[in-house]
Structure 1
């Protein structure tokens, strides 16, 4: 089952969201991606001030206001209630991820970028091929979403909104923006791979008499 879910996660890379960022949903997982560091766990009330907006609460356990993310660490989490919005300033990062619980079609996540543009994802999009039906236990609606900005782009903030109870989020993590030299190395590496593939195709299509 874990192998199947991992394979499915790869298929969830958002080709339709290439305008500024792509994402992958990892069902049933709460693992951080390589290079990420925890930004907010919501376990300490002193962190509550990083969240602005309206009609959201911090909870433990499951109640009518929210269900504890089944793939999370089982501690305090953020729950956005009906017609609520929770905004978090991330600074300037190349990627961020979080644990999400019982994804619903009426949940919406919006990224803000350094140039002032935004990109929104509904629960149906975030959940990929799985139904965003709010199941509180299934790994298909509980897991980790990882977002990565396109090359040269920077994520500065994220907003969580929901038209009904609830949108549950926990354990946000971020990755720093790569240095220009790192970007250059990455782009150069892609170029080398592309060149090798072109040469391989050329060799493969040679016909001898």
Structure 2
């Protein structure tokens, strides 16, 4: 193929390839909302999702803060029946940690857990991928109040252990043999 024809073909391909769609969704949007609990509940469940009608690349970020410490877990999945209409997740980031989303012949799915969630800190779930034809993904996220004690509680526990240890050392049992 002549160089100018190759350059023209590449230019035409780039011109017809849509730019990556980037979106940010906060809790309470149509694509990211709570299904149970509220920010002060000991357990909170949310869903997040997006769908596309045409071949495109996408970069979606879901952001939230929770006014308590805890741990998060969740899952995300896609499904498709043919290569003509499918969505592929290339990257899944949760609080700046990259997770692998394995593929099968009919979609992708992953479940993650034990993600630390801190009081008032902005958390994010970022889904980067592409569609061929149309496609969608959906996910759930669950947040639970952490049983991990606060620093002041740690200090009280350590002090308590020290007092118990000290009392046990001082307590001497005298045994007499008569």
TM-score range, shorter chain: 0.3 to 0.5
What TM-score comes out, normalization by structure 1 length? 0.31
